[in-house]
């Protein structure tokens, strides 16, 4: 597929879906009047057991709380233990982005299923780092890893009415239906690989 002058793939999703590097500068602040660009040294790595507290801070932040359900410590511990034991062959995928101060600023948890689908369970970015490209980097990394494994699709569910419903289509995800969850209705999205 040919690239345009702006780096967009002709006929494909926006360039956001093709982010292959973590951003080196971060725009902070809620509006252009209060925002500033800062240099950021970010590292992406597999999650460790002690990262649960940082992940919970992201989930429980004001902007993120409505999007996430409860993520028990045992779920994160199980994913981390399996990922550490099996390495790249692990069906579990839990990644974190850490800033220069050691703070978890983003995370992603997914599972490569035996039926050929990768399920994205959660992706979250700290409030002060949102719209910086970190979440796009993590999602692109998951899509790439799923392709390498020979997976057929990436699937996810997100609550109806949340702004995340506008996020996933930029990566080529298509709405595959709705699902009545225990507490709310969810839109189901799929990306065929």
| Reported confidence tier of residue 188, pLDDT bands at 50, 70, 90 | very high
Enumerate domains of the chain plus CATH numbers.
15-192 (3.40.630.30)
**What are 55-102's pLDDT values in tens digits?**
999 998 887 877 777 788 888 888 888 888 887 788 988 999 999 999
**What's the pLDDT score for residue 62?**
83
**What are 16-45's pLDDT values in tens digits?**
334 456 665 554 444 444 333 334 688 999
**What are 120-169's pLDDT values in tens digits?**
999 999 999 998 999 999 999 999 999 999 999 999 999 999 888 999 99
51 touches 104 (CB < 8 A): yes
- Mean pLDDT (whole number) for 188-192: 97
Q: pTM for the whole thing?
A: 0.79
22 touches 14 (CB < 8 A): no
Q: What's the rounded Cα separation, in Å, for the pair 146 and 128?
A: 29
- Tokens 């982010």 locate to 19
Q: Does residue 15 have a pLDDT over 70?
A: no
């Amino acid at each position: 597929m040919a690239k345009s002058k702006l780096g967009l793939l002709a006929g494909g999703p926006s360039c956001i879906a093709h982010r292959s590097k973590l951003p080196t500068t971060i725009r902070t602040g809620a509006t252009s009047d209060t925002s500033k660009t800062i240099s950021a040294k970010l590292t992406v790595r597999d999650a460790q057991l002690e990262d649960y507290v940082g992940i919970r801070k992201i989930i429980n932040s004001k902007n993120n709380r409505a999007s996430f359900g409860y993520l028990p410590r045992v779920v994160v511990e199980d994913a981390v233990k399996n990922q550490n034991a099996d390495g790249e062959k692990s069906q579990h995928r839990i990644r974190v982005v850490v800033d220069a101060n050691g703070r978890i600023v983003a995370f992603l948890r997914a599972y490569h299923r035996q039926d050929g689908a990768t399920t994205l369970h959660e992706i979250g970015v700290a409030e002060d780092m949102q719209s910086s490209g970190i979440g796009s980097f993590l999602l692109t990394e998951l899509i790439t890893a799923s392709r390498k494994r020979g997976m057929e699709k990436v699937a996810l569910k997100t609550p109806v009415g949340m702004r995340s419903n506008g996020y996933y289509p930029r990566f080529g995800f298509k709405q595959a239906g709705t699902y009545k969850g225990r507490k709310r209705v969810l839109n189901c999205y799929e990306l065929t690989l």
